[in-house]
Amino acid sequence: MTSTPCTRHSSRTAWRPPISNGARSTTPSRSRGRPGTRFRSIPRTRWASSDKTRSRFPLGRRDAAPYSSPVNSSPEIERARELLRTVYGYPGFRGRQEDVVRTVTEGRDALVLMPTGGGKSLCYQLPALLRDGVGVVVSPLIALMQDQVAALRQLGVRASFLNSSLPPREQGEVIGNLTAGRLDLLYLAPERLLQEETLELLGTVRLALVAIDEAHCVSQWGHDFRQDYLG
């Protein structure tokens, strides 16, 4: 097993909403492609995401032109657009973001390919805010978890991570917030996710979706990269 950081350029994202199609009725505790980009929705798969960017704001440039979907709106998409403006400060979706958000919010699986800075993180963060329960994000990089959580907290989103960088007391606080329903997003390392105690813990809470980040590392760095990603 190797813990070599993934630095090669690629971008793949997939998410899986594992429970029901119900949309969340509450907001966060404190309110926020390039041509040829492939989009695919597939059944019975896990969500996976990849993006080597370490930006504290993972959604890309704010000056990019918004995208207007030709598909008729639903109450969930209208709510997603509202959260996009009020929580994240963006005037509209870019590229195929709205299509992905619609797919995940409706409870369907998806595999999404986007370039770095294409806004993949938004595509699972927004559905996690819209659906009942907590969104679980599996990420191989501690630094990336920390940056994502810090950015989300600045926006008022209830996000935390569980990894080896946290002392036992802080881990206990995160677990307490999780079981009390006070988290919108929880970031985990793949090794932490596969621990029996973690699986038992997640079995006691309602999951909005599961996202697997940096999935391209498996194919680009070989099957000896973070064996737990293959689970």
Query: pLDDT tens digits, residue range 158-191?
Result: 999 999 899 999 999 999 999 999 999 999 998 8
Asked if the structure places residue 218 within a domain, the reply is: yes
Residue-number span of the structural domain to which 36 is assigned:
12-230
Query: pLDDT tens digits, residue range 118-139?
Result: 899 999 999 999 999 999 999 8
Asked if the structure places residue 224 within a domain, the reply is: yes
CA–CA separation, 118 and 138 (whole Å) = 19
Asked if the structure places residue 4 within a domain, the reply is: no
Asked if the structure places residue 221 within a domain, the reply is: yes
The larger pLDDT score, comparing residue 46 to residue 209, is at: 209
The two structure tokens encoding residue 216:
């391209």
Q: How many CB atoms lie within 10 A of CB 222?
A: 10
Local confidence band at 140 (pLDDT 50, 70, 90 cut-offs): confident
Question: Are 206 and 18 a contacting pair, CB within 8 Å?
Answer: no
CA–CA separation, 104 and 131 (whole Å) = 9
Asked if the structure places residue 1 within a domain, the reply is: no
Local confidence band at 14 (pLDDT 50, 70, 90 cut-offs): low
Strand 134-138 with 207-212, pairing: parallel
Asked if the structure places residue 2 within a domain, the reply is: no
Asked if the structure places residue 206 within a domain, the reply is: yes
Asked if the structure places residue 216 within a domain, the reply is: yes
Q: Which CATH number fits the domain that encloses residue 140?
A: 3.40.50.300
pLDDT at res. 195: 93
When divided into structural domains, the chain yields a total of 1
Query: pLDDT tens digits, residue range 34-89?
Result: 333 333 333 333 444 444 333 333 333 344 444 444 456 789 999 999 999 999 99
